Amino acid sequence: MAAAQCFPSSPAGTCLSSLPLSTTPPLTPLYSDCTLITPLFILGLSLLIISLAISHCVGPVDELGQLGPRGRRNYTWNERKYGAGGRFIDWWLFGGSVYIRALLFLWDWCFAGSVQEGDDGGENVFACFGVANRQKGGGEKDNVKKNEHKKHVHVGVVGYDSSLGAHGPVVLSWIRASIFILGWCSVCTFLMNTHAELTSWLSQYDGEPIAFLPTVVNDNLVSIAMHFLSVTQYVLGAGAEQINDTANSSRIGLIICTIIYQKVFVIALETALLIIGFLLNITGIYVPNGVSHPGGPRPHKIMRTPKWTDGQRHVMPKELLVNKDGKWRCAVAHDSHRDTNQKFKAAEKLGDLDEVKATLTGEPFGRQTWTRMNRQPRMDSTETEDDLNAALKKEFQQANASKSGPNNQQKSEKEEGPNIFQQIGDFLTNTPPKKPQSKPKDVKQTELVQTLASGGRPPLEFDPSKNVNSCDQIFRAQMISAYLEENGGNLPEEMAHMQSGEESKKPKTVMEAAQRGIAFYSMLQTSDGHWAGDYGGPHFLMPGLIVAWYIMGKPGLMLSPHHQELMLHYLRVHQQEDGGWGTHIESPSTMFGTVICYLAVRLLGAQKDEDWIKKGREFILKEGGAVMTSSWAKFWLCMIGCMDWKGHNSVPPEMWLLPNWFPFHPGRLWCHCRMVYLPMGYLYGSRFTYADAESDNLIKELREELYTESYDSIDWDGTRHLVAPMDNYSPIPLFMKFAQNCLSIYENWSIFAPFRNAVRKAGLEFCLEYMRAEDLQTNYIDIGPVNKALNLVAAYHASNFDLNNQAVQNHIMRVQDYLWVAEDGMKMQGYNGSQCWDTSFAIQAVWECGLLDKFPIMSSKVWAYLERTQILSTEASQASPAYQYESCENRDKFYRHVSKGGWPFSTSAHGWPISDCTGEGLKGVLALMDSPAVMGAVKSGVLKGINAERLHDAVNVILTLQNEDGGWATYENNRGFGWYEQLNPSEVFGDIMIDYSYVECSMASLTALAEFNEKFPSHRSKEIKFALRRGGEFMKSIQRDDGSWYGSWACCFTYGCWFGIEGLIKAGEDPSSESIQRCCRFLLSHQRPNGGWGEDFTSCYDKSYAVNGMQGYGDDGSGVVNTAWALMALSAAKCDDVKAIRRGVQYLMSRQLECGDWPQEGISGVFNRACGITYTAYRNVFPIWALGRCAATYGDSLDG
């Protein structure tokens, strides 16, 4: 045959019974006289060993983000081997150009720049590299202002970028070069062995057919083999010509030449890309964004607006708040714990529980629950917030007495009036003070409380057509009423005119307005030192809890009839004119919000023939039925039995069994996403469905009500990808749909059943173990309300549907942590509150006003709260089960960052530290260290101290949370890649797959580090300064071309600009720099005619400034919160447009109510780009802060 003539025959072998591919080990030569243990092989192996050893020792490499334990510098060899201690496999698979990283390292070393990778995860053609000139000190201006308006970065090559430190690029290049060499050696050896065996096979058979193959297949196989041989022979011949003709010249020539050609090609290509990218960048033709750049504006803006029937005022029925069973009140800290324990004991007596097995664990401070039970007496000698308040009262009464002596020159302005601090102390300790000599008679206390708590609205009235945001009247009325009762009916001195019959007194100066605002807000402080408030807003949270409650048999211990009535009231008053509900309170109606809320109201007992229920059903059917809702709503429908599981895309629990280094391991996801899809995977893998779904008449009715066709006739598999356009914020990419279709085949084809059943069992076991770890780490609070409800159902399923199971009872105990009552009813919050976040901001505002010691008990209580809230740092928290999970082994296994020393968003018991919350908590503590009154209380033993080790723990958390792009994410380092968003299955949310770096987290973290370094310069100063420089460069890299920063966690650009400017200044940027001045020009360009600023959640949704965003809920398009943020940014930058600052300050003062409060306007918070969330504290905290900062910066020029 032709093949035998072209190629010399190899020694004859035995008859082959399979395809003639080499089975010889890849690095073993076919002929004994040829060895591949050549200098080239030795070089590759040596490079690999040396580079791995160096990378194990080099400090900067040790500090990278990864899946395993954080908060320490050194890792064991096993941790590196299994992917826990580093990301070498990430770098190898997605590292892009190591050569360019080496060049950038040289650039950095030679030109005193700093390498800042853009971390684009491969989503851009070029990766962003920032090379920013360092400040030389003395206020020198930037030398690169010319191109700063384009982008303060230079461009490299596609790939995953890591700030590896000074030695990182070189180490990484060694690793990749050695693997290239070894890989090519192995591949080429395999090809050569296959070449030899193919030659032998063809010459042996000489074209005769193979017995076990058809003739056509034989012919094609021979043709393919001959083509392969002709190609390899050409390469062999080319290789042989390069060296002397020896017995093995062709073999060695192939190896050497291919490696040389590959290296030359790669270096040439990457160099060309670097040059092209550099030119495109400096000319501004193409400037890519890193993965953490939010982008925008969105091409498809939200066009629909919500609408409620005009004048439809809802007044909370009194019987919902007060009846024979008591009245609703907010219990906090130990009072809350006693209340919960008493409820469970009562349930045991009534026979609702066989035995109380659950216990509340973790730090009580910060817990806030709504109850109808009276305050329970203390049952033990545990130190509580009441003991703290008694000690503070004694401390400051003595201090005040010494000030009022004959030698005291600082007399009270109203000597005959009651002492305000004594009043506060009496209130805190529940000790009635002596009544004043004269009690106001002209104002009834009830009317006074209503006036103070109303926020300028009619008492307990809710009219969504005017403002769909509640203003927390019920909670504020409770706190103000208690304050007046315990202080003889007297208000703080700053508000005394409201009781004396005097004419209304508006503050004359900026500082008077700020002080009155603090005085009012101090009345709202809870007994444990935090400020509580409404953190509701999303409509999709509470329905999940209601579904869980219904599935579990509607236990009254979980949701009593009183809870159900208030929840039903909330859902009724938020229904819009078209019959639907929005994803959140200010959102236009969506199928996501409507389907899930309709399900909830029916489960709560609303009848299908009620008018408002009919309107909701009409909306759903008009949009195509429940098959058109988003995947999260479909999941709850599947669980309750109103949708077949075939209608939901697969959530395979066996994904958790993948090795940690796998490119798309679930452990790499953002923790909120990860902890939701964890129980989803368990429940999907178990195909959990409400046990009585087939016999429950309500479920049968819902199956008829929710769909446009008969339930039994629906092709469920064909509905998996259906979603209404109004829900489709992040459309599922084609690749993800393809992957979901493949998973559908995997789920439904019987051929995969043996494998699927085997791995699914192991996957379910791991999911259950991981959920139990999450429950214990958070004292059964869980990271958020969605996974709280899902984990609860999963625990119920794992217990074989036993309400007496300890884990189930522990879950039920913590349900109340998420519920809140306001004038619009009972809602489920987006967290178990925003206690630590709001309190940290509030005390910084008071500090910047210079009034910490004017309100010493308030300030001291904040210290106590922050001390008790630092995670895993107090006796109570370290006695909880959560503390055992802080070990490196457990953190590695369950993908947790170091927790000890951080501060949470809410409470210590919640257990999840966050970068910005840790930063703001640390800044709050550092601010209080400037208060002689607070430090005096610490010195005297009234307050517990916070030692240096605890402060160092907080700094460690912040430093280890810095991402590889120089910025800070939320809970963890970014572990994934930008292309993960192509796999986002949620439809309704954006950018949820990885923990991006944000301007807010970056500012809070680096400003905390900077302020800590100012007070304690001896601790890790070099690392802190390096972190500040990298953080500042990151913040410049995500600044938008118009000078603004996008705010990801509030509305929106005014918020982002405040964080951006303040962060850059703390990082060392001169206020006169172009970056800061550009932001100032952006803010000034959006100031409204009345002096204020305003935008709403559509700024976040559209990623474009909502010029008229506050027309509906603000004052002529302006709002107090946005105005405060803008003023804080401008005053931090020392903006020289004093007239604009004065107009903004006057706007805030004009909007302040007589009592010192400000009105509740639009929704302030946002998350996941598309969902608004409420912060009622913001309307008080930020105006106070802005007034104090502006007064300190501009002085008397603002008054008058």
Residues annotated as part of the active site: 916
What amino acid occupies position 168? G
Q: Which tokens hold the place of 1053?
A: 């650009």
Instruction: Give the position of tokens 């005769």.
Output: 208
Distance between CA atoms of 590 and 583, rounded to whole angstroms? 6
Distances in whole angstroms, Cα of residue 1123 to Cα of each of 88, 1054, 1108, 1163, 1170: 47, 8, 14, 14, 22
Distance between CA atoms of 1097 and 997, rounded to whole angstroms? 21
Kindly report the three-state secondary structure assignment for every residue of 62-128: HCCCCCCCCCCCCCCHHHHHCCCCCCHHHHHHHCCCHHHHHHHHHHHHHHCCCEEECCCCCCCCCCE
Q: Which residues pair with residue 1117 across a beta bridge? A: 1110
Strands, DSSP E only, in 399-514?
461-462
Q: Which tokens hold the place of 1194?
A: 């501009």
Instruction: Name the residue among 561, 581, 585, 578 with its Cα closest to residue 629.
Output: 581
Farthest-apart Cα atoms in the chain, separation? 122
DSSP labels, 762-780: HHHHHHHHHHHHHHHHTTT
Instruction: Name the residue among 938, 946, 937 with its Cα closest to residue 395.
Output: 937
Q: How many CB atoms lie within 10 A of CB 254?
A: 24
Asked whether 118 and 290 are in contact (CB, 8 A), the reply is yes
Distance between CA atoms of 681 and 929, rounded to whole angstroms? 47
Q: How many CB atoms lie within 10 A of CB 53?
A: 12
Q: Which residues pair with residue 965 across a beta bridge? A: none
Strands, DSSP E only, in 655-801?
none
Q: How many CB atoms lie within 10 A of CB 1127?
A: 32
Asked whether 1161 and 1200 are in contact (CB, 8 A), the reply is no
Helix axes 1138-1151, 1120-1132, angle to 10 degrees: 150
Instruction: Name the residue among 60, 58, 82, 52 with its Cα closest to residue 69.
Output: 82
Asked whether 946 and 702 are in contact (CB, 8 A), the reply is no
Distance between CA atoms of 657 and 1109, rounded to whole angstroms? 47
Q: Which tokens hold the place of 815?
A: 């349900």
Instruction: Name the residue among 671, 663, 1182 with its Cα closest to residue 915.
Output: 671
Distances in whole angstroms, Cα of residue 273 to Cα of each of 265, 281, 560: 12, 12, 66
DSSP labels, 319-382: HHHEETTEE-EEEEHHHHHHHHHHHHHHHHHHTSSS-------S--TT-EEEESSPPPPP-S--
Distances in whole angstroms, Cα of residue 411 to Cα of each of 406, 408, 417, 566, 629: 10, 7, 12, 50, 67
Q: How many C-alpha atoms does 601 have within 13 Å on its Cβ side?
A: 29
Distance between CA atoms of 1192 and 1197, rounded to whole angstroms? 11
Instruction: Name the residue among 805, 782, 785 with its Cα closest to residue 795.
Output: 805
Q: State the DSSP code for 604.
A: T
